[in-house]
Structure 1
């Protein structure tokens, strides 16, 4: 198997009036095409771990590898490029720009990355919308579409730079059961057909039970 993401002995403290040991010797990897979920009670460190794994939080001890390359200790500009190029994000809230069209929202990360021409970026954006069966929404303002559609747009945006892994923080947290299942089905298809790796933090047991593996956390540690 080809590991896409690997954490080795990740430790993190929150400093402040009282030091708090939030992540304790975290070790695991996600292989190419694997669809994994992270579960645990509120406050166990799930979201903190996701921010470390996504390279957005660099204040930790241990080593983080992406595509078998060490990313710990890299310059912030390099990390920003790696994050935009290789990691797609889907959050509980979609963070779409309301006055931009659906297509404009989807292609924003590609414009920021700047490694393709404008026409290539637009073509890629349309293709991602087609993958999610929402190409008919391309010219609609993001403020004019439904909640379930917005989350699909957020997934298309996460896919625009053809990342190695999608990371999600409660991506179905604001959706009803039908739309939650739709999002799961999209993720499953991406894993099975596109070979995309997914690591999803969720409180939804029904969602997690359908993933390839559940990584359980408790008090800053991984239990399994």
Structure 2
């Protein structure tokens, strides 16, 4: 079976103020429906790796494959299109636009991709909000809902283009333990029911322990 995500010998250097190797020979695979967490001390290269895996950072050595297709050396426009179609993002901060409704926030990535009509996108967005238990908040402004609801809305937004993989950078970092557990349970459900792969950078040991596999990083390397 082709892995959903694969890296071969990825190395990354920061040039300023002096040349420094941030990632060293990163080789791993993420399978379909697998729920994996990446752990390690601050500064070990976790977030840098996530930016490369998400195709947002293209200045690295080595090879990156997403859904069987080689991403390395593709044009930025092509990467942006693939990223919109195949990857959903959930960050520590929700990045919802406060002046828009929850519904509009969830619709935005699909409107930008432009593959469906607005009415279809709206219907899909309502289904995602319903699945995440916040359909009643759809027409409220994003600034008017709770922190836990905002993070659910950001997960709905990450799902709107039916991606193959969800990438998260500390998605429970700002949440209390109850909401953090809710987010974990949502992710677990998604991997089982929606056939999604999840790759989550986290400091939360309870969260990581419950995932299928933990990738431990130290000094830019996978242990």
State the TM-score, normalized to the length of structure 1. Answer: 0.99
Secondary structure of the residue that 1:93 maps to in structure 2? Answer: coil
1:87 is matched with 87
State the TM-score, normalized to the length of structure 2. Answer: 0.99
Pairing 1:96–2:118 present = no
1:150 is matched with 150
2:18 is matched with 18
Gaps of 5+ in 2: none
1:220 is matched with 220
Moved >3 Å (runs of 4+): none
2:177 is matched with 177
What is the alpha-carbon distance in structure 2 between the residues aligned to residue 99 and residue 62 of structure 1?
A: 42
1:201 is matched with 201
What is the alpha-carbon distance in structure 2 between the residues aligned to residue 9 and residue 183 of structure 1?
A: 32
What is the alpha-carbon distance in structure 1 between the residues aligned to residue 88 and residue 170 of structure 2?
A: 14
1:140 is matched with 140
What is the alpha-carbon distance in structure 1 between the residues aligned to residue 44 and residue 53 of structure 2?
A: 16
2:46 is matched with 46
What is the alpha-carbon distance in structure 1 between the residues aligned to residue 97 and residue 89 of structure 2?
A: 15
2:34 is matched with 34
Q: Tell me the CA shift for residue 167 of structure 1.
A: 0.2
What is the alpha-carbon distance in structure 2 between the residues aligned to residue 209 and residue 201 of structure 1?
A: 13
- After superposition, the C-alpha distances for 1:142-192 in whole angstroms (9 at most, x for unaligned) are 000000000000000000000000000000000000000000000000001
- After superposition, the C-alpha distances for 1:79-127 in whole angstroms (9 at most, x for unaligned) are 0001111000000000000010000000100000000011111011011
Secondary structure of the residue that 1:3 maps to in structure 2? Answer: coil
Counterpart mapping for 1:100-111 below 5 A: 100-111=100-111
What is the alpha-carbon distance in structure 2 between the residues aligned to residue 189 and residue 8 of structure 1?
A: 30
What is the alpha-carbon distance in structure 2 between the residues aligned to residue 17 and residue 34 of structure 1?
A: 38
2:74 is matched with 74
- After superposition, the C-alpha distances for 1:46-86 in whole angstroms (9 at most, x for unaligned) are 00000000000000000000000101100000000011110
Q: Tell me the CA shift for residue 17 of structure 1.
A: 2.2
Q: Tell me the CA shift for residue 16 of structure 1.
A: 1.2
